[in-house]
Amino acid sequence: MVANLRLPFDVDDGKDAGVFVSAIRQHGKTKLAQLLADLYIDDDCLVRVFDTSQAWNSSNIPTKVTLRQPHKIVYPSDQSIIFDISRLYLQQQRFTIQTILGTDFQTRVESPNPKLEQWIIYFFEEAQIILPNGSLRANYAQEAFRTISVGANYNLGYMLITQRPADVSTKAISRCGILYLGKHFESNDITKLKKFLGWRKYNDTHERLSSLKKREFYHFDGNKATKFRAPTYRQYRQPTEFNRPSRIRGFWGNIWYHIKDF
Ligand SMILES: Nc1ncnc2c1ncn2[C@@H]1O[C@H](COP(=O)(O)OP(=O)(O)OP(=O)(O)O)[C@@H](O)[C@H]1O
Ligand SMILES: [Mg+2]
């Protein structure tokens, strides 16, 4: 269960600082993000996932909104949600994310006391699409930049997930206070990450990152980097007769999950 989970993560730091997760394909980024999403939800945050490849179908978030047309976005704003944007083209995905972020932000700005509102944490899968290099001034990235720069004042947090840090805006990564870095070996990626980690030598960075195995990450909090292995994560649904009232908000219904240390 979540309580036994050994992960270098502090929910309060995550909310304030913003989180960046990167590794090459199939090295456990999404699973790690799902573990962290559970911790946020456990802490009474709302989670909003922009899922580009239906990878979150197996997560514990019960509400999924499948978007087929970018201008028809209807969702229950008081719930954690997976937005399945896999059917949309790239421009439509950007437009959709922009609309959702803009709406939420506007609601918070109008709130009499935004710091008392429930935290919303956005999970950006394929961050290189939403915040690519040089996108600081691009129209499609305005809302995302606003969220990652001033969102914390309105209780809006985020997590950026990518396979290619070299393609993600440096201005966006540099705003993240917590980094989870998995395996990388490509020189542009290493060069970029080296700067953030404060590891001066390219060779050291290359050696440390390229030797990581699946599920292994460096956790970097701006001060020191600690290597860890994400616990295995398995989600399953129990038959209804085994339902228990969930300790994590009412709508968790018949979804159970199980987390085990490696
Ligand atoms: N913590 C974990 N617990 C259990 N299985 C895991 C874990 N991490 C990774 N896996 C396994 O590895 C596969 C890939 O993990 P995941 O989808 O998280 O990788 P990814 O880095 O997000 O990949 P992609 O770059 O393709 O999105 C999963 O299908 C799962 O079977
Ligand atoms: Mg993934």
- The values of phi and psi at residue 154, to 5°, are -115, 20
Q: Whose CA is nearest to atom 15 of ligand 1?
A: 28
Q: Is the minimum distance from the CB of 31 to ligand 1 under 6 angstroms?
A: yes
Q: Whose CA is nearest to atom 25 of ligand 1?
A: 25
Q: Is the minimum distance from the CB of 183 to ligand 1 under 6 angstroms?
A: no
CB < 8 Å & 24+ apart, contacts of 233-240: 233/31, 233/34, 233/35, 233/257, 233/259, 234/258, 234/259, 234/260, 235/34, 235/58, 235/59, 235/60
Instruction: List, in order, residues 6 or more apart from 119 with CB less than 8 Å away.
Output: 15, 40, 43, 44, 45, 46, 155, 156, 157
Residues spanned by the domain of 253: 2-260
Q: What does R_g of the chain's alpha carbons equal in angstroms? A: 18
Q: Is the minimum distance from the CB of 208 to ligand 1 under 6 angstroms?
A: no
State the number of CA atoms in the 13 A half-sphere of 212 facing the CB. Answer: 31
pLDDT at 58: 84
pLDDT at 7: 84
pLDDT at 208: 96
CATH assignment of the domain containing 180: 3.40.50.300
Q: Residue 175 in contact with residue 164, Cβ under 8 Å?
A: no
pLDDT at 235: 63
Residue length of the chain? 262
Low-confidence ranges of the chain (pLDDT < 70): 1-6, 235-262
pLDDT at 159: 98
**pTM, two decimal places:** 0.90
Distance of CA 32 from the midpoint of ligand 1 (Å): 8
Residue at 182: amino acid letter: G
What DSSP designation does 118 have? P
What DSSP designation does 80 have? -
How far is the C-alpha of 231 from the C-alpha of 151, rounded, in Å? 30
- Could you identify the atom of ligand 1 that is nearest to the CA of residue 232? 3
Strand order in the sheet with 225-229: 64-66, 81-84, 46-51, 120-124, 156-162, 19-22, 178-181, 216-220, 225-229
pLDDT at 232: 86
How far is the C-alpha of 165 from the C-alpha of 72, rounded, in Å? 31
How far is the C-alpha of 214 from the C-alpha of 157, rounded, in Å? 27
Tens digit of pLDDT for each residue in 26-45? Answer: 999 999 999 999 999 999 99
pLDDT at 246: 38
Q: Is the minimum distance from the CB of 23 to ligand 1 under 6 angstroms?
A: yes
User: What is the number of structural domains in the chain?
Assistant: 1
Q: Is the minimum distance from the CB of 30 to ligand 1 under 6 angstroms?
A: yes
pLDDT at 51: 97
In the chain, what is the greatest distance between 2 CA atoms, to the nearest angstrom? 58
Tens digit of pLDDT for each residue in 180-208? Answer: 999 999 999 999 999 999 888 999 999 99
